[in-house]
Structure 1
């Protein structure tokens, strides 16, 4: 965190516009799955604003743009190129076979909720957004709206932390750690609830299908029994006529 802040402050001395460009570029890279913590970047952006290297509202808008465009790039890549992307070595590291299996299993019927929760999980976020583009289960309009509403929760929190507590780095680190943990725990709980919800829906669907199959089988047995009974009556009638 200290080194990232020092790097940003060094380049920010060349002018406010550099601060905006740097923050935007780093957030874009983070959106592509590059291992640069998004939360630390947003906190650093808040610190830059508090020190006069950028305007508060301006840096917030740049942060939102960087986050949304970075996430959109992953979705659009998946949407345009599909499974061909898995041939790229770098993307294979992000979207591993294990992650694909995990995401696909949970993504089927709860894509919107899944995407919202994913915004708070740095390790899986890029993979989920890429996968959502590949599957095309969610339109880009829905995707960007979901991402916006999730980002409008997290981005102001991180930027505000940097802006108001940037003068005390030790205390700031403690707050970042606690709030980051809170977001992660909330996201994990969200995933568990989604998983339970999916399980319940699958069981209901299986039960409904089973009941439907049983009903069809009962109808077939009834018709078969009815036809068989009719044949017996016909045979008996023929015998009585012959006599």
Structure 2
């Protein structure tokens, strides 16, 4: 936590180094380190608004960091470590098998749309989604292309909102995140209920 606080102080104090620090923090998020992509997007956009000359470096840093983070979570943790990750206390305490089962049901039902939808839901669901795709051995190219589209939509949308409207946009984004999270829970509950009903009928 101290390292994270120092990094945030450096980002705000030295805009020239900010793109590298933001990218590095998001890279760590791929290993399930609790770094908020939403906070990085907000920080990058606010800095860009105050320092227009750094807009593109800041945007590409947050975009590349978010996308590569997803690939790490999917490929290294999900596909490579696989079920072994639940034996590692660090990962087991963050993502429970039960949560992954729920996300996996959502994934099977809605396919790649889950990636686009899931990027608008906060950290816990988002990383669980990528882990689930890796554990389920989703085709690597399919994941990479689908997530690239999803990442582009979310990063461009949020960066533009924060850049143009600053802190006044935070409450609206929070409300939209709660809305998407509630929808995700409702859909997952519906899928699980339908499966149980079918199992009882058979």
The size of the alignment, in residue pairs, is 196
Aligned to 2:13: 10
Cα distance between partner residues in 2 of 1:143 and 1:206? 34
Write the distance in 2 (CA, Å) between the matches of 1:125 and 1:71: 9
The equivalences for 1:148-163 within 5 A come to: 148-163=148-163
Which of structures 1 and 2 has the bigger CA Rg?
1
Q: Distance between the aligned counterparts of 1:135 and 1:162, measured in 2?
A: 35
> Scaled by the length of structure 2, what TM-score is found?
0.79
Deviates more, 1:81-90 or 1:96-105: 96-105
CA contact 1:30–1:36 (8 Å) conserved in 2: yes
TM-score by length of 1: 0.67
- Residue 203 of structure 1 and its aligned partner are, at CA, apart by 6.3
User: Judging changes above 3 Å, is the alpha-carbon distance between structure 1 residues 95 and 193 closer, same or farther for their aligned structure 2 residues?
Assistant: closer
**Is 1:103 aligned with 2:103?**
yes
Give the root-mean-square deviation of aligned CA atoms: 2.9
Q: Deviations over 1:53-106 (max 9, x none)?
A: 752223222221111100110000211221112221111122213313323443
**Alignment CA distance shift 1:145-1:113 (3 Å):** same
User: Post-superposition shift, 1:4?
Assistant: 7.4
Match of 2:179 in 1: 185
Does the 8 A contact of 1:94 with 1:127 survive in 2?
no
Q: Which runs of 4+ in 1 moved over 4 A?
A: 2-6, 197-207
- Aligned pair in 2 of structure 1 residues 189, 145: CA closer, same or farther (>3 Å)? same
Q: Against the structure 1 CA distance between its residues 19 and 53, is the aligned structure 2 distance closer, same or farther, given a 3 Å change threshold?
A: farther
- Structure 2 unaligned segments of length 5 or more: list them: none
User: Compared with structure 1, are the counterparts of its residues 101 and 204 closer, same or farther at alpha carbon in structure 2 (3 Å cutoff)?
Assistant: closer
In structure 1, distance between residues paired with 2:29 and 2:59:
17
Partner Cα distance (1:140, 1:119) in 2? 18
Structure 1 residue ranges without an equivalent (≥5) = 167-171, 211-243
- What corresponds to 2:57 in structure 1? 58
